[in-house]
A and B are shown apart, each in its own frame.
Chain A
Amino acid sequence: MPKQTSEIDHGRRRALKCMAWAGTGLAWTMAGGVPFTTGLVGGAQAAPVPVPVPATGLTFAQISDSHVGFDKPANPDALATLREAVAGIRGLPNQPAFVIHTGDISHLSRDEQFDAADQALKELGLPIFFVPGEHDVLDDGMGAAYLARYGKGPNGKALGAGWYSFDHGGVHFIALVNVLNLKAGGLGNLGEDQLAWLADDLRAVADSAPVVVFAHIPLWTVYPDWGWGTDDGARALGLLKRFGSVTVLNGHIHQILQKVEGNVAFHTARSTAFPQPAPGSAPSPGPMKLPADKLRGALGVTTVSYRPKSGPLAVVDATLA
C-alpha cells in the first residue's frame, strides 16, 4: 500500500528532522515497523521536541557503553552518569516497554563493576536485554563472568557467547555478540556458529516483520583504522536483505552515527560514560577529555540529520555538540 509507505516515510523524516535529545540514553518507538526516536532523556540541557507516539506503538530505550568502573579524567564517575541516564529514562513521558544495553556495561569485567551497574539499572524497573562489549569479557574465562550474569537472555534462550532473539509487539529482536574470538589485525567478529544460528532463527520470520538487530561493535564498517566495524557483519546483513524494515543498533564508538542503506537503518548510540572522537579526528579513539562542565553536554546533546532511504551509501556524522 503506497499511501501507507509514504506516511511512514513522512513520519520517519519528520521524526528524524525534529529529533534532538539531551541526556545519555535514547528512546525508540516503533510505528508501522519503522523506528524513530521519541522525546528525550535527562532533558536538563535542551527543550524537548515532542514526537507523537501512536497508542499502539512499541517504545524501548537503548543504553550503551556505561563503562562502570571507569574513573579517568574524561569522566571520574561513570556510575553517576549511568544513574543520570537511568533517571532520565524513568522520567520519559512515554515509558519504554524495556531497555536494551548494547555492551561495555563494565569497564574491566570486575564483579563489583557489574554489581554496581546492575544496582543502577535495577532502578529502571524494566526488563533489560544485554549484549556484551569487549570490556565485559575480560575475565579469565573470557566471557564466563558475563554469561553467568546475563547469559540467560529472555526465557533462558541465550546461546553460545550470549546471543538470542525474541519477539515483542510484532517486532523481531536479535541480540548478537561480536566481541569474542577477535583476530589479530581484524575487527569485530560474529563467527560461523552465530551466523548459522541467525540464518536458522530468521527462517520463521516473515519478510514483512520489522527486525531490530543489536550488537556492541557496529555491524557496518565505520572506521577500520580504529577497529570500528565487524569482519563478518556483511554476512549477517546479507541474511537480513529480504526484510522490509531492518534497524541495526550498536554502541562501542561513543557517539551517534547513522546511515540508511536500502531497507536497513544503522544507528550507533552515545556512551553514558565518556565521548570518543569522530572517526579519524584524533590520533586515537581514546576518551575525549573535556572540562567537567562540558562533559554532560558532550554526552547528552546531539542532533541527528536524515538521509533519504534511497540515497547513496552514506554515513551521517553527528557533531559532538
Chain B
Amino acid sequence: MKRRLAALLICAFVPVARAETVEIRIDNFTFSPAEVHVAPGTTVVWVNADDIPHAVAATDKSFRSKVLDTEERYSRTVAGPGTIEYFCSLHPHMTGRVIVDGGGGQAAGR
C-alpha cells in the first residue's frame, strides 16, 4: 500500500490521489503539497520532516494534532466533500488545504 502510494506520488506531478492514504510532508516550514485533492474516505497523513516541531490545526478549530516532533506523524480520515483549511499552530504562517472532491481535480499547491 505504502509502495503504491509512494509510486503514485512520485509519478504524479499533481498531488492527486485516489489512494486511501495521502502523505503531506512538513519540510522547511512548508506543507508539501500545500494543496491536495483527495477522495472522500482518504486518510491524510502529515509527517514532520523538520528539525523543529510543528502541529496541524484546522482553521475552523474542528481538529488539532498533538505537537509533532521530527518524523512524528498525524493522520486523519477525511469524509467530505468540502475543503479543509489548516495551519501550523506553532507557526501560523504555514498554511495548507485538503480538498475532498473525489480526488480528480487539478491541484494548485505550491
Contacts and interface: CB of A to CB of B under 8 A. Distances in A.
Interface of A: 72-74, 107-109, 134-135, 138, 140, 182-187, 224-227, 283-287
B52 to A, nearest CB: 6
8 contacts: A73-B51, A134-B90, A138-B53, A138-B67, A140-B66, A182-B89, A184-B95, A227-B93
Nearest to A223: B93
A109 B67 contact: yes
Interface in B24-66: 28-30, 50-53, 55, 57, 59, 66
Interface string B72-110: 000000000000011101111111000000000000000
Contacts of A285: 29
Contacts of A186: 92-93
Contact of B55 (A138, A185, A286): A138
A274 to B, nearest CB: 9
A74 B90 CA distance: 20
Contacts of A185: 87, 92-93, 95
B25 to A, nearest CB: 13
B90 A286 contact: no
A74 B50 CA distance: 12
A225 B52 CA distance: 17
Given A108-B67, A184-B85, A287 B93 contact: no
Contacts of B85: 184
B2 to A, nearest CB: 26
Given A109-B67, A184-B85, A284-B29, A74 B51 contact: yes
